[in-house]
Every structure is written in structure tokens, then in C-alpha cells.
Amino acid sequence: MSATPEHHVVGRRTPRVDGEAKLTGHADYTVDHRLVGMLHGYPVPASIAHGRLEALSLDAARAMPGVVDILHHGHFPDLHRSPNSMRDGDAVSEVRLPFEDNRIHYHGQYVALVVAETFEQARAAAFRVAPRYRQEPGAMPGLAASDAEGSEAGEYTRGEPELAFGLAPVILDETYTMAAESHVPLEPHATLAEWREQDQRLVVHESTQGVFYQRNALARIFDLPEERVEVISHYIGSGFGNKLFMWPHAVATAAAARMLGRPVRTVLPRQQDMMTTGNRPASRQRLRLGAELDGTLVSIQHDSLTETSMVDHYVDACGGVTTSAYACDNVATRQRILPVHHGTPCPMRAPGEVSGLFALESAIDELAVALDMDPLALRLKNYADQDPQRGLPWSSKHLDRCLEGAAERFGWAARDPRIASMVDGDEIIGQGMASATWFAGRQPCAARVTLLADGTVVAACGTQDIGTGTYTIVAQTVAELTGVPIERVEVQLGETSLPAGPLSGGSMNTASTLPAVAAATRDALAALKAVATGPGGDFAGLAPESLGVESGALVAEGRQASFAEILAHRRLADVTGEGNAAPGDERREYSFRSFGAHFVEVRWDPGISRLRVARVVSSIDVGRAINPVAARNQVEGAIVMGIGMGLLEGLDYDPRDARLVNANVSDYRIPVHADMPEIDVELLDYPDYRFNELGARGIGEIGLTGVAPAIANAVYHATGKRLRDLPITVEKLL
């Protein structure tokens, strides 16, 4: 796609174009917006997980200074549930509307929204609201404390897995469990809603991974035409999936703004953020593997049970990765879901597959031990050269290079496989590894690119940058195709007034957005060429196709004229190009996935019961990295998250009443700087042009997959304890 090869902006390490705005506080996050007359919302969360709200005593709260109104069941408009369709782009995280009835389905569910003149006044009054509940017996506490089996949510079979398992000389049948996890984005959820009475318009600032999804859902819920709802999200302090689709706080805030005729802003406190805006559900997974003595896998059966809530049907598809991970003729996956009295789960970075790979890659390691085989050799032995589920070639797969390259850098060949055999002073060294993989998808996208008479370029797309670097890669793409320096490219994202863009989710954004941006850039350049070759133009009379593009100028016949000159000579302020891109027929011919490998060293000091991840060496194959510095940063961040998943993180629900007991970041432990190991990430560079013209498959999620099982496998090597329950807290090693 290179118009000016000497530039090579795409694929080059590029500092974030929004870095200065973020560092100087100019980046406008949702909470940075203040509107005239703005009120503040503060939700009141239910303190029980299962029962009914019998009464709300509001007098004391209403009498507090600054309180303007208190919304609740009985004082809330009649709204419409969103149809909640992915296809129509109106998916929501929880279909139940706030205050819909007086039933309580989970601890933290909103029973009221206090609206006051200041945040402090709203919060103070929220604590004076006195709800009276009737707690009901039989709260479902979560699958860790239940032997319920849930209901069917999908299955897949090829070959004769039961039969092959029965005949296999070496078998493994183990169950793996993991605690629910919280996303803990740095920026909590926040909504600022404004109802413009004069033109009956709802304008909402939201920290969201999908402005168009939220717009469409709000339009359905408030029964407004889509064009009268606007959603804005210029900057987002990450989301990891819990900002993909709208949650009830946004509906309640928008309703308050319309009822009161004043803008209302609600910023969720951390506790409520953890109770009410999703989680990666706990899972219980049974893996049955059958192998020949030489390690050939003859059967894989993967049965998964994951939690959902009482108000939704979220499926965390753990087996989705198992169907194509290894070359094996006999494979079955079964998925079940169990409704529990917890907040509704939602996608969390590499949803389903990251949980699934914990079980599968742990089981593969256990099988290697049973076979007395090197786990790396076992994986290569069962390498899937093509997609065994669909029988199609991979567009581009270099998992073998990942495995071998990372092993080399890690020094895997020097590993002594005997348990606790590698000792350094007081510490026992454990080394483990696992494969990583994540699907590669694309969504439709539209974009607009404008070349201006001052020589700058504006690129606009209604997608959003959740902190991953979308602003920068859009600017790189435009700079690459126009030869305009990246500093002169302005990128506008995060508004539904812009051409419709995709979710920032599923690691699909790069592959979805950049082809549309490239198409719009080419369209703008074509418009400029038409101007330049028209009457009075710098290249009047020449064929537009004969013009080249170089460094922000058009060139032909040894002359050049800058974009700015061409527009000035025709007295034009700008020319604009539109571009659209969508996945095509490529999926009929190829399967698209990204791949990787993690090698982990843990150090276990039995004298003081200290377990640390000391070293992680990873190789990742995601096609082309548009901005290697941001791409590496994604993988490093994902590895940090994987250390949390492996050793620290878990939502604790009281088994007696299903209440969440650690909805805060002191009891819900996430890794901190002191937990950081040496991290060595290699990005392989095999552009996947079958996927799109950029060759990029996307990189947000893959880095997390495989980290936790590699840690668990290393812990086994160090201690001889096979821990099949995450997180691997120190108590489990005693």
C-alpha cells in the first residue's frame, strides 16, 4: 500500500500522536466534560444478592443539601428494552432496564440513583437512602460452591472422540477451575448525558468501546430515531471488554437528564464498577485427552461450565479454541452455562479462549508428563498445519517459529525436566510453557479523509481509541499513503457524528479500521488528482492516473505540486474522500488466527513461601504490527494481566448469600510493579495480506492467552504440585 516507500510510516515504531495530550491533561475523558447546569448522579447499590426491594426510605436523603431528585422503581420513565442484537449493533451488556421492577438479582444492582448539585452531595445522600429488602433463600453463590450443571449452550463434535478416548493407550481426565475476574480498567465507567429539549436530542459522553452500539441501544431504549442520539468517547482509560456494550448506569443517567432537563454526569465508584459492570465468569472445565505412546493426540474432549447472571445469558465459550488448536481427528466440546446471583458477566480480554486455554494447555502439559515427553515436542508433534475444524488452510501461521524462537531465547534446551531439580540459592526454579492463540476477525467500517489547503489532513472515523493506540495507527496509515508528515495528520475518533466505525473489541479494530482509512485516503487523493488535472489545475490536461503521490505532493513529468498549492490554485478549501471496508469472501478460503508462545520461569522459595514469576519470554505472530512500540506494549500489558490471572486475581463471593466481598482493589489483588518479571517479547513479522491490505490481524488479546497455563506448568515443575484452580495463591502450595 506504500505510496512513498521512503516513508515507511506503517510498521515503524511511532510515538503516540495523542501522547502529549494525555500527559498534559488535554485529553478529554468523559469526566473532563462539564456542562453548564450539570448535575451529578450517584447510584445506590443493593446490599443483598437475591430478594426484593420492599421499601425505600427517601426522606432523609431528599433533605440533604443539593439533592435534586432520586430515581427508583416507581419514579422512573417507561422505557423499552434494547433488542440486544449484535447484528443490528444495539447489543447491551444487561438487557434488564434499571429500576424495572423491585426484584434484586445480584449484589450491587441499582435500587436508586441520587441526583444532586455536586458529586459529594449526591454521594452523601446516596448513603442516606434506606432501602428495606426481603432477602430470599436459595441464592446461587457461583459454581465453585455449587454442583449444579447448568444448561446447554452449544456443542461441537468431529470424529469419534468417546471411542478414541476408550481405545487410547495414554489418557488424561482432569478438571480445571478458575475464579471470576474483574476487568479493573484504570478509568471507571462514566456517563454524561444531556437532553436537548429544543431539538429532542440525547447527547451522551461515555467511556465506551463502541459509540455506535451505545447510540443504537439508547435509540431503541428511549424510542428515538438514531440520528437524534449522539454518543461521544474521545478518550478511554481502557475497558478490556466491560465497556463494549452499555450498562444500566448509562440508561439511568440519560433518563435522569431527560426527566430533569439538566445534564447529569455519573461516575461509578470503584466498588460499583466491580459489582455492576461485568466480570470474566468463573469456569469449571473437564478435559479428557487420549494419545498414542508417541504423543499423537487421538481424542480431545472439553466440557465447560461457566456462570451467567439471573438477568442475562452470557456464554464464555471456553471450547472455542479447542476445536482448532491441535491436529486431532476426534474432538468434542460442550458448553453449559449456570445462572447465578452475581452481576452479569461479559467479555473480558480474550473471552472464553483464555479460560479454555488455561485448561487445554495445562492438560497438554500433564499429558507430556504422563508420556515422559518434552511439552514443546508434544505440541510440535500435534501441530495443526491447517484448520482441523474447517479443513481450510490458515492464511498465515507461524506458531512453530513462535515456539522454537521463544524456546531458544528462553534457553529451554537447558531445562532439567525433573521436579524441583533446578535450584538457585534458596529458590527453586520452575519452567513452563504454553501456546497462545486468538481468532482474527473484521467488522465493517467507514472513514472520511480530508486534504486541506493548509497542507494538513484530517482523518475521521466513528470508532474509538481505548488506549491501545488507534489514533496513532490511523495517522500512520494516512501519512504512509499521502507522504504528509504524521504531525500534520489530525485524527478524529469517538463520535457517532463521524462515519460509522467498529467496536474496539475482539482485537478486530486495526484490521477493520485501517482498510477503510486507506480507501478514504485513496479516494481523497483521487479527488485531488481530478482537481489538479482539471482546467486551471497544476497538471491540467494530464490523465489523473499518470500522477504520483510523494511527500504531500502530486508528481508527474518531473514536476511536483504540493497538495496545498493544488488546492490554492483552484481556490478550494479542501477535498474529501470517503472509504468503506468490510470482510469479503476470504473466509471461504482461509481460516484466520493469530498465534504465539509463552515461556515462563517462576521462583518458589519454600522457606518463606514466596512464589514469583521471574521471567517471561514470548513470541507472537499477528501478521504485521502497524506500530511495533504500541503492539509490544499490548503484549507486555497482557502478560501482566496473565500474571494476575495466574497468581492473584479472583472475585470472592460469600457462599452463603452470593454477596461480592472483595469489590475493591485492596482485596481484589492485581499485579503491581513489584510483581513484574523480566518480559521479553518478540513480534514475528509475517504480514497477512490475505486478511487485508495492511497485513495486520490485530494484537489486543492474544498476549493474555496461554500465560496462566504456562505459569501453572512452571509451578508444577518447581513444586510437583499440579494446581488446576486459578488463581495459584501461595496457600495452595503449602
Q: Which residue in the shown chain puts its C-beta closest to ligand MOS?
A: 241
User: Which of 14, 340, 319, 11 is closest to 145 using CA atoms?
Assistant: 340
Angle, in degrees to the nearest 10, between helices 509-533 and 470-482: 30
Q: Using N-to-C axis directions, what is the helix angle for 353-371 and 707-719, rounded to 10°?
A: 30
Nearest distance, CB of residue 639 and ligand MOS, angstroms: 16
Give the pairing of strands 445-452 and 457-461. Answer: antiparallel
Rounded to the nearest whole angstrom, what is the least distance from the CB of residue 697 to ligand MOS in the complex?
14
Q: Pick the closer one to ligand MOS by CB: 99 or 439.
A: 439
Asked if 254 and 218 count as a contact pair (C-beta separation under 8 A), the reply is yes
| Rounded Cα gap, residues 365 and 371, in angstroms | 10
Q: How far is the CB of 212 from ligand MOS (least distance, A)?
A: 15
In the complex with ligand MOS, which residue's Cβ is closer, 375 or 505?
505
Catalytic residue among 149, 353, 701, 731: 701
**β pairing state of 229-232 and 283-291:** unpaired
Nearest CA-CA partner of 94 in 110, 113, 73: 110
Nearer to ligand MOS, 209 or 619 (CB): 209
- Asked if 451 contacts 443 with a C-beta cutoff of 8 angstroms, the reply is no
Q: How many residues does the chain have?
A: 734
- Closer of 239 and 263 to ligand MOS (Cβ): 239
Nearer to ligand MOS, 109 or 468 (CB): 468
Which residues fall within 8 angstroms of residue 479, CB to CB, at 6 or more apart?
Answer: 7, 9, 485, 486, 489
Give the residue with the Cβ less far from ligand MOS, 161 or 700. Answer: 700
User: How many C-beta neighbours within 10 Å does residue 655 have?
Assistant: 13
CB of 445 to ligand MOS, least distance (A): 16
Q: How far is the CB of 700 from ligand MOS (least distance, A)?
A: 6
Which of 251, 250, 282 has its CA nearest to residue 268?
A: 250
Three-class SS state of 595? strand
Distance CA 227, CA 244 (A): 21
Q: Which residue, 194 or 206, is less far from ligand MOS as judged by CB? A: 206
Of 131 and 351, nearer to ligand MOS (C-beta) is 351
Please report how close the Cβ of residue 593 comes to ligand MOS at its closest, in angstroms: 16
**In the block, which residue shows the cell 503521490?**
549
Nearer to ligand MOS, 112 or 702 (CB): 702
Of 461, 41, 109, 75, the C-alpha closest to 272 is 109
Is the previous residue joined to 485 through a cis bond, with omega within 30 degrees of 0?
no
Is the distance from CB of 419 to CB of 413 less than 8 angstroms?
Answer: no
Report residue 598 CA to chain centroid gap.
Answer: 20
Q: What is the dihedral of CA 554, 560, 564, 567, to 10 degrees?
A: -70
Binding positions for ligand MOS, rule: CB under 6 A: 209, 239-241, 244, 347-349, 351, 505-506
Is position 174 annotated as part of the catalytic site?
no
**Residue 467 or 577 having the CB closest to ligand MOS:** 467
Query: What is the DSSP-derived secondary structure letter of residue 180?
Result: -
Place of cell 499490548: 634
Residue 239 C-beta: closest distance to ligand MOS, Å: 6
Report the nearest approach of ligand MOS to the CB of residue 358 (Å).
Answer: 16
- 99 or 235: whose CB is closer to ligand MOS? 235
683 has which bridge partners? 620
* DSSP three-state, residue 212: helix
The nearer residue to ligand MOS, 239 or 494, going by C-beta atoms, is 239
| Nearest distance, CB of residue 348 and ligand MOS, angstroms | 5
- What are the cell numbers at 266? 455519573
DSSP secondary structure of 237-283: ---TTTTSSB-HHHHHHHHHHHHHTS-EEEE--HHHHHHHS--BPPE
Contact 402, 635 (CB under 8 A): no
Close Cβ partners of 210 (under 8 Å, ≥ 6 residues apart): 243, 244, 245, 464, 502, 503, 504, 505
**474 close to 21: Cβ distance less than 8 angstroms:** no
Conformational region of residue 657, where left means phi above 0, alpha means psi within -120 to 50, and beta covers everything else: alpha
Residue 345 per-residue DSSP state: P
CB 539 within 8 A of CB 533: yes
* Cα separation, 165 vs 11, whole angstroms: 46
CB of 207 to ligand MOS, least distance (A): 13
Structural contact between residues 342 and 660, judged by C-beta atoms closer than 8 angstroms: yes
Residues carrying an active site annotation: 701
